Amino acid sequence: MQSFNTFLGQSFRNFLTVGAISPSSKYLAKRMVKNVKGPVILELGPGTGVFTKEILRVLPPNGILISIESNETFVNYINNHIKDKRLKLYTGNAFLLKDFLAKNGIGKVNYVISGLPIGNLNKKDKQKLLNEISESLEEDGVYIQFEYFLAGMKAVKKVFPKISLDFELLNLPPAFVMRCKKIKK
């Protein structure tokens, strides 16, 4: 309930960047991490940490999760509720994801799991973000993104032509999950 109240409050203040009125359900979180193994995972836009908890559940003991959240209230919430040494949580802009990886001495990651509302981004920002995500992934890496209306799918397809779609009904609203494989160059 505390997570819901925090989320709703931030959503009223910054609807465009928060992009939802409530945190995702645990069912959507489980679907987001289906077949995810790590060992190096980058999470963008964790909010109150629903996906973060599920990612930590599937992450191996020696794995690492880097999470980038722009909203300080959410960062404080996660810091107060999730204690795990494998989690490196940063306040900042996901658009600078390569800098955050470099700070952790990491070149590439195995998975990017994104809660960012990519449908709300303008064309240029979306393109820049997707390119950065692709460049940050290992050759067999996977980018996982949820969306309510698939508004960003066209742009995603340009960078990640191989998308498999999944759907979670038990979420408010129900949501699509895009699993995007990096193409081998």
Ligand X SMILES: C[S@@+](CC[C@H](N)C(=O)[O-])C[C@H]1O[C@@H](n2cnc3c(N)ncnc32)[C@H](O)[C@@H]1O
Pick the piece of the chain touching ligand X (CB under 6 A) from 45-53, 76-84, 101-109, 131-139. 45-53
Q: Among 33, 74, 109, 179, which residue interacts with ligand X (rule: CB under 6 A)? A: 74
Q: Alpha-carbon distance 151 to 69, whole Å?
A: 22
- Smallest separation (angstroms) from ligand X to the CB of 40: 19
Site membership for ligand X, residue 38 (CB under 6 A): no
Least Å from the CB of residue 25 to ligand X: 9
Listed in sequence order, the DSSP H helices in the chain are 2-13, 15-18, 26-32, 50-58, 72-81, 97-103, 123-136, 153-159
3-state DSSP assignment of residue 151? coil
Question: CB-wise, 93 or 110, nearer to ligand X?
Answer: 93
Q: Which residues, listed in sequence order, are joined to residue 65 by a DSSP beta bridge?
A: 41, 87
| Tokens read off for 104 | 């952790």
Q: Which positions touch ligand X (CB under 6 A)?
A: 17-20, 23-24, 44-47, 50-51, 68-71, 74, 93-95, 115-117
